[in-house]
Amino acid sequence: MGPGYFPTAVGSVLGLLGLALTMTSLSAKAMEERIAKFSWPTLLLIIGPVVLFGLMLQPLGLILSLVMLVITSSYASHEFAWRPTLLNAVVLTVLCIVVFVWALKLQFPLWPAFIGDGG
Protein backbone atom coordinates (compact mmCIF):
# COMPACT_ATOMS: atom_id res chain seq x y z
CA MET A 1 0.00 0.00 0.00
CA GLY A 2 2.52 2.59 -1.08
CA PRO A 3 1.70 6.07 -2.33
CA GLY A 4 1.46 4.75 -5.88
CA TYR A 5 -1.13 2.03 -5.25
CA PHE A 6 -4.36 3.98 -5.63
CA PRO A 7 -3.18 6.25 -8.49
CA THR A 8 -1.97 3.20 -10.40
CA ALA A 9 -5.33 1.50 -9.97
CA VAL A 10 -7.32 4.56 -11.08
CA GLY A 11 -4.85 5.23 -13.87
CA SER A 12 -5.28 1.70 -15.21
CA VAL A 13 -9.06 2.10 -15.22
CA LEU A 14 -8.65 5.36 -17.12
CA GLY A 15 -6.36 3.66 -19.62
CA LEU A 16 -8.86 0.85 -20.16
CA LEU A 17 -11.67 3.38 -20.66
CA GLY A 18 -9.58 5.20 -23.24
CA LEU A 19 -8.95 1.94 -25.03
CA ALA A 20 -12.66 1.10 -24.97
CA LEU A 21 -13.57 4.52 -26.34
CA THR A 22 -11.05 4.16 -29.15
CA MET A 23 -12.35 0.69 -30.01
CA THR A 24 -15.99 1.82 -30.16
CA SER A 25 -15.17 4.75 -32.41
CA LEU A 26 -13.08 2.56 -34.72
CA SER A 27 -15.72 -0.15 -35.00
CA ALA A 28 -17.70 -0.45 -38.20
CA LYS A 29 -20.99 0.44 -36.52
CA ALA A 30 -19.72 3.76 -35.18
CA MET A 31 -21.19 6.94 -36.61
CA GLU A 32 -18.74 9.37 -38.05
CA GLU A 33 -18.29 12.32 -35.75
CA ARG A 34 -16.32 15.48 -36.23
CA ILE A 35 -14.77 17.57 -33.54
CA ALA A 36 -16.37 20.99 -33.53
CA LYS A 37 -14.14 23.73 -34.89
CA PHE A 38 -11.89 25.52 -32.45
CA SER A 39 -12.05 29.26 -32.49
CA TRP A 40 -8.37 29.87 -31.82
CA PRO A 41 -8.45 33.70 -31.80
CA THR A 42 -11.09 33.75 -29.06
CA LEU A 43 -9.22 31.12 -27.08
CA LEU A 44 -5.96 33.07 -27.31
CA LEU A 45 -7.59 36.40 -26.48
CA ILE A 46 -9.15 34.99 -23.32
CA ILE A 47 -6.42 32.66 -22.03
CA GLY A 48 -3.57 34.96 -23.12
CA PRO A 49 -4.56 37.98 -21.02
CA VAL A 50 -5.11 35.71 -18.00
CA VAL A 51 -1.61 34.27 -18.34
CA LEU A 52 -0.26 37.82 -18.71
CA PHE A 53 -2.19 38.88 -15.62
CA GLY A 54 -0.57 36.06 -13.65
CA LEU A 55 2.89 37.11 -14.84
CA MET A 56 2.32 40.86 -14.39
CA LEU A 57 0.55 40.97 -11.03
CA GLN A 58 3.52 40.64 -8.74
CA PRO A 59 6.08 42.80 -10.51
CA LEU A 60 3.71 45.46 -11.92
CA GLY A 61 0.87 45.63 -9.42
CA LEU A 62 -2.87 45.18 -9.51
CA ILE A 63 -3.94 48.38 -11.26
CA LEU A 64 -1.84 48.00 -14.40
CA SER A 65 -2.59 44.27 -14.60
CA LEU A 66 -6.34 44.82 -14.37
CA VAL A 67 -6.39 47.51 -17.03
CA MET A 68 -4.35 45.23 -19.31
CA LEU A 69 -6.66 42.27 -18.63
CA VAL A 70 -9.86 44.16 -19.42
CA ILE A 71 -8.58 45.89 -22.54
CA THR A 72 -6.89 42.89 -24.16
CA SER A 73 -9.68 40.45 -23.39
CA SER A 74 -12.34 42.86 -24.66
CA TYR A 75 -10.70 42.51 -28.03
CA ALA A 76 -12.15 39.00 -28.27
CA SER A 77 -15.66 40.39 -28.69
CA HIS A 78 -17.27 40.71 -32.10
CA GLU A 79 -18.07 44.35 -31.45
CA PHE A 80 -14.93 45.86 -30.01
CA ALA A 81 -14.80 49.64 -29.56
CA TRP A 82 -12.17 51.70 -27.73
CA ARG A 83 -14.28 54.13 -25.74
CA PRO A 84 -16.60 51.72 -23.93
CA THR A 85 -13.68 49.34 -23.36
CA LEU A 86 -11.59 52.00 -21.65
CA LEU A 87 -14.58 53.04 -19.56
CA ASN A 88 -15.20 49.41 -18.62
CA ALA A 89 -11.54 49.04 -17.62
CA VAL A 90 -11.69 52.08 -15.34
CA VAL A 91 -14.99 51.04 -13.75
CA LEU A 92 -13.86 47.47 -13.11
CA THR A 93 -10.49 48.51 -11.70
CA VAL A 94 -12.10 50.98 -9.30
CA LEU A 95 -14.73 48.40 -8.31
CA CYS A 96 -12.06 45.78 -7.59
CA ILE A 97 -10.03 48.16 -5.48
CA VAL A 98 -13.09 49.18 -3.49
CA VAL A 99 -14.37 45.63 -2.97
CA PHE A 100 -11.21 43.57 -2.60
CA VAL A 101 -8.58 45.95 -1.32
CA TRP A 102 -10.65 48.44 0.64
CA ALA A 103 -13.64 46.43 1.92
CA LEU A 104 -12.30 42.85 2.12
CA LYS A 105 -8.72 43.95 2.90
CA LEU A 106 -7.08 41.35 0.67
CA GLN A 107 -3.34 41.83 0.20
CA PHE A 108 -2.35 43.01 -3.28
CA PRO A 109 0.55 45.04 -4.58
CA LEU A 110 -1.26 48.02 -6.13
CA TRP A 111 1.50 49.71 -8.14
CA PRO A 112 4.71 48.45 -9.76
CA ALA A 113 7.29 47.48 -7.17
CA PHE A 114 9.75 50.18 -8.29
CA ILE A 115 7.26 52.99 -7.67
CA GLY A 116 6.79 51.95 -4.08
CA ASP A 117 3.73 51.24 -1.93
CA GLY A 118 4.31 47.51 -2.45
CA GLY A 119 1.02 46.61 -0.77
Contact 45, 97 (CB under 8 A): no
Nearest distance in Å: CB 112, other proteins: 15
* DSSP label at residue 116: S
Binding letters toward other proteins, positions 21-40, x by CB under 8 A: x--x----------xx-xx-
CA pair distance 46, 75, nearest whole angstrom: 9
- Sorted by sequence, the CB contacts under 8 Å of residue 97 that are 6+ apart come out as 62, 63, 110
Q: Does 66 bind other proteins (CB under 8 A)?
A: yes
Sort 70 into a burial class: Cβ within 10 Å, 0-12 / 13-18 / 19+: buried
Cβ-based nearer residue to other proteins, 54 or 115:
54
**Contact residues for other proteins, defined by CB under 8 A:** 1-7, 10-11, 13-14, 17-18, 20-21, 24, 35-36, 38-39, 42-43, 46-47, 49-51, 53-55, 57-58, 66, 69-70, 73-74, 76-80, 84, 88-89, 92, 96, 99-100, 104-108
